Amino acid sequence: MQIGGITIEKTAALAPMASVADAAYRIMCKRFGAAYSVSEMISSKGLVYGDKKTAKLCLLLTEEYPCALQIFGEEPEFMGKAADMLKEYSPLIIDINMGCPVPKIVSNGSGSALMKDPVRAAEIVAATVENAPCPVTVKIRAGWDKESINAVEFASLMEKAGAAAITVHPRTRQQMYSGHSDWEIIRQVKNAVSVPVIGNGDVKTPMDCKAMYEQTGCDLVMIGRGSYGRPWVFEQVRRYLLDGEVVPEPEPLQKAEIMLEHAQLLCKLKGEEQGIKEMRKNVAWYVKGLPDAARIRGNTDKLFTLDDLKRVADTIS
Q: Indicate the helix (H) or strand (E) that contains 95.
A: strand 93-98
Assess whether 67 carries a catalytic annotation: no
> 83-107 pLDDT, tens per residue?
999 999 999 999 999 999 999 999 9
203 with 226: CB under 8 angstroms? yes
What are the tens digits of pLDDT across the range 257-302? Answer: 999 999 999 999 999 999 999 999 999 999 999 988 999 999 999 9
% of the chain at pLDDT higher than 90: 98
CATH number of 252-314: 1.10.1200
**Would you state the pLDDT for residue 171?**
97
When pLDDT is cut at 50, 70 and 90, the band that residue 226 belongs to is very high
Do 6 and 93 form a contact (C-beta atoms < 8 A)?
Answer: yes
How far is 57 from 68, CA to CA, in rounded Å?
12
pLDDT digits (tens, 9 = 90+) for 40-74: 999 999 999 999 999 999 999 999 999 999 999 99
Q: What percent of the chain has pLDDT over 70?
A: 100
End-to-end Cα spacing for the chain: 40
Stated pTM of the model: 0.94
Residue-level pLDDT at 317: 77
For the four alpha carbons of 47, 50, 56 and 60, in that order, the dihedral sign comes to positive
pLDDT in tens, 116-144: 999 999 999 999 999 999 999 999 999 99
Q: Where are the domains of the chain?
A: 2-243, 252-314
Sign of CA pseudo-dihedral 131, 137, 143, 144: negative
Average pLDDT of the chain?
96
Catalytic residue, from 29, 100, 209, 218: name it: 100
Residue range 16-41, pLDDT digits in tens = 999 999 999 999 999 999 999 999 99
The domain 2-243 having CATH identifier 3.20.20.70: the answer here is: yes
Could you read off the pLDDT of 291-317 as tens digits, one per residue? 889 999 999 999 999 999 999 999 997
